[in-house]
Amino acid sequence: MIVQPQEARVEDIERVHDHRLIEQVQSENFFDPDTPAHPGIFDIARRSAGAALKAAELSLGGQVAMSLMRPPGHHAGRSQLGGFCYFNNVAIATAWALTEVERVAIVDFDCHHGNGTQDIFLGHDRILFVSLHQSPLYPGTGLSNELNCRNYPLPAGIEGSAFLDRFKKALDDVDDFDPGLIAVSAGFDAYQNDPITDMNLDRDTFGAIGLLIAELGRPCFAVLEGGYATDMAYCIKAFVEGFDETA
């Protein structure tokens, strides 16, 4: 089933972002070399956030859902944008979900560390943030664990089997946390054909990632983060087939 998203309300965005950042995006009055002030970007970014909110809502209604919208979000912190990200979609959806469930775990397997998500939720006792990412690499964060944020920096060139070994350990943290919902920042730039990163995961590895999350047996949803290969759609397809056994 394909669902058309609605734009996120400003009050939903304000749960995780300072009003000053929201005003900067709305007025297109900001500068970042990777995150340009495109005309109409405020409404575009709100629609991407709205898709994440809808995916979270569907998941709590018993469905497995994934937002395929962009711009991505996990580099956007409480008061700053960057890294192609204007508003933090997974954080906005997670903050809303905390009105429905006691705890949420965020699993981020983008090749880059989700520094914005960590900035927003660091020290939040109802959130567990788990990130597996290439290091060293932009943005240069996520080198060690901090409070409720579990970071797994990985070397360039890592193969699928080694990645999955680390991923299983990360999911042990998630299972121990006993979340009522799992939110997934699904980045596909760890793919071996990605032009801007140096990890070496094949399509089947993304299918295994999705299956391992599904096997936790908890409500879950995913949002699209990075990934720039021309054949990335096959990685997404593999992930969804593992993530949702009805796909």
Q: Phi/psi class of residue 176: alpha, beta or left (left: φ > 0; alpha: ψ in -120 to 50)?
A: alpha
How many other C-beta atoms lie within 10 A of the C-beta of residue 22? 18
Active site residue 74: no
Amino acid letter, residue 226: G
Alpha carbon distance, N-terminus to C-terminus of the chain: 10
Q: What span, in angstroms and rounded, lies between the C-alpha atoms of 225 and 211?
A: 19
- The β-bridge partners of 200 are 159
Q: Which of the residues 75, 112, 113, 133 is marked catalytic?
A: 75
Nearest of 108, 99, 132, 106 to residue 121 by alpha carbon = 106
Amino acid letter, residue 224: L
Q: What span, in angstroms and rounded, lies between the C-alpha atoms of 187 and 184?
A: 9
Which residue is associated with the tokens 């060690």?
144
Name residues whose C-beta falls within 8 Å of residue 186's C-beta, 6 or more positions apart in sequence. 66, 109, 110, 222, 223, 224, 225, 236, 239
- Report the catalytic residues: 75
